[in-house]
Amino acid sequence: MFSKIGELIFENEAVSKTSDFKMGLEVEMHRVDGTGNLSEEPYPAAIGDQKINPWITNDFLETMSEVVTPAASNALDAMHYLYSINTALRTALSPGEFLWPLSMPPKLTPERIKIAQAGPEKERYFKEWLKHHRVAEGAPCGAHINLSIDERLITMVYQKMPERFADEKAVRNYLYTIVAQGFVRYRWLLTYLFGASPIAEGNYFEAGKELKRPVRSLRQSREYGFGSKFTPDYTDLEHYVQVIERAVAKKEIYTAAQFHGPVRFKGATELKQLQKEGIAYLELRMLDLDPTSYVGIRTGTLRFIRLLASYFIMSPALNKNEVFDALEVAERRNELVALEDPTKPSQLAEAATALIEHLKVYIDLIQAGPEYQELIEDMEYRVKIPMNTPSARLVRNIKDGSLTEYALKRAKGYQKSALLALHPFRDFEDHAKLSANELKAKLFRGSWEPQHREEI
């Protein structure tokens, strides 16, 4: 089951370090009014200036609020940050204003659509993007996960395998690349297990291109969702950079920042500098919002992501000459799964079961905790019984071709809970540009300290 690197890690009793990812979260949600339309209220003053506050900002539209957490050492700590900052946002909303809990946007009424006032550089980018896209294409929301590998693991691999890697940067690039390949290769499984965008509300589709039935995930579909339309190359960092530079040169995208693939190599902003300095972390962009969660994502989902990342590090990688073709197949598989009827078994159910069986063996081999046994049983149950997937559950709540009634009920319930918070955070108003350490000190005021805990 293990690769040579996996065997090395296992023999040195360092498996726990393969899941000791620092984890940062970015979760987008639209501000809406009580009728389920985009809000016409101004940007909430109590969360500071959207141009400089790094923890609550706006994405493409003025109503598209994005909560960003500092990097945390485990899923529970990341969720603690997310809950606290999300509550700060909710309690800053105007009366009668709510956060839309679905990935697909509410009804897009033209007179209510305003591009985010995110500063001259971002606004120029948005305007250029709109020359080639419809507003609706930029309106879906999701949850992004930033993962950075434990540096102790990178150091150990380099020290034990100096003949294979020139330096620690080479180890770092290799490990991030095989993790990225793994997530792209099995993105279709995440779409099946966590897809939660079966339909779109009014004015999302182009005239004549409306879907006639619910699907697993509109947002994760290349044809109907949000993302770059060209095929990235995750063979290695060099190929990744070359393909994005070629796309910019061919005007398929305006800038490198406009690449919205399922996984992004992160580090230096400029591609040449990224290639020189190496990958610092990965950004995973393949999760719909979970409308049954106050913050749009669940702790169990984060644990499953960490489990997969650990499994990818320990498992044999694809041969370099096979990567591009294998990931093209994976792209087609994801499109197939994304557009399936969510209430019926997937055409890839057998492949999903096979991977879950591998993960069950892996959990036993590394002696993961009971929470991972329960988690993998839940994922297996979703594969066996499609009606237990998030998208299928949403289908039950569709009324007259819409999820607005369901979404508003959820949104209003979450808002009521937020308003009962005893000490909502208000320091963004006066100190919008807080560092991660300043945010932690002011947000929790010594009542909670993120800790480094080994989860596997």
DSSP characters over 272-295: HHHHHH---EEEEEEE---TTSTT
**Tokens 């007179």, located at residue:** 111
Residue 116 has what pLDDT? 86
Residue 450 has what pLDDT? 58
One-letter amino acid identity for 368? A
> CB count, 10 Å around CB of 424?
16
- Is pLDDT above 60 for 328? yes
The Cα–Cα gap between 332 and 330 comes to 5
Q: What is the mean pLDDT of residues 118-142?
A: 85
List Cβ<8 Å contacts ≥24 apart for 223-230. 223/335, 223/339, 224/200, 224/339, 225/140, 225/197, 225/338, 226/137, 226/138, 226/139, 226/140, 226/142, 226/260, 227/260, 227/261, 227/262, 227/285, 228/252, 228/253, 228/258, 228/259, 228/260, 228/261
What pLDDT, in 10s, does the model give residues 176-223?
999 999 999 999 999 999 999 999 999 999 888 889 999 999 999 999
Phi-psi region of 227 (alpha: psi -120 to 50; beta: other; left: phi over 0): left
The Cα–Cα gap between 33 and 78 comes to 29
45-54, 150-159, 293-302, range with the lowest pLDDT: 45-54
Its sign, for the CA torsion 244, 249, 250, 255, is positive
Query: Which residues contact residue 417 at a Cβ distance below 8 angstroms, ignoring those fewer than 6 apart?
Result: 294
> CB count, 10 Å around CB of 233?
19
Helix, strand, coil tally for the chain in percent (to 5)? 45, 10, 45
What pLDDT, in 10s, does the model give residues 343-361?
999 999 999 999 999 999 9
The Cα–Cα gap between 129 and 226 comes to 13
For the record, the structure tokens of 194 come out as 């966590």
- To the nearest whole number, what is the mean pLDDT of the chain? 92
Residue 133 has what pLDDT? 83
Are 36 and 415 in contact by the 8 Å Cβ rule? The answer is no
In the chain, % of residues over pLDDT 90: 74
**DSSP three-state, residue 301:** helix
Are 410 and 290 in contact by the 8 Å Cβ rule? The answer is no
Residue 451 has what pLDDT? 54
Bridge partners of 99, per DSSP, are 31
User: Which of the two residues, 122 and 240, has the higher pLDDT score?
Assistant: 240
What pLDDT, in 10s, does the model give residues 242-294?
999 999 998 888 788 888 899 999 999 899 999 999 999 999 999 999 999 99
Q: What is the mean pLDDT of residues 422-438?
A: 83
The Cα–Cα gap between 149 and 158 comes to 14
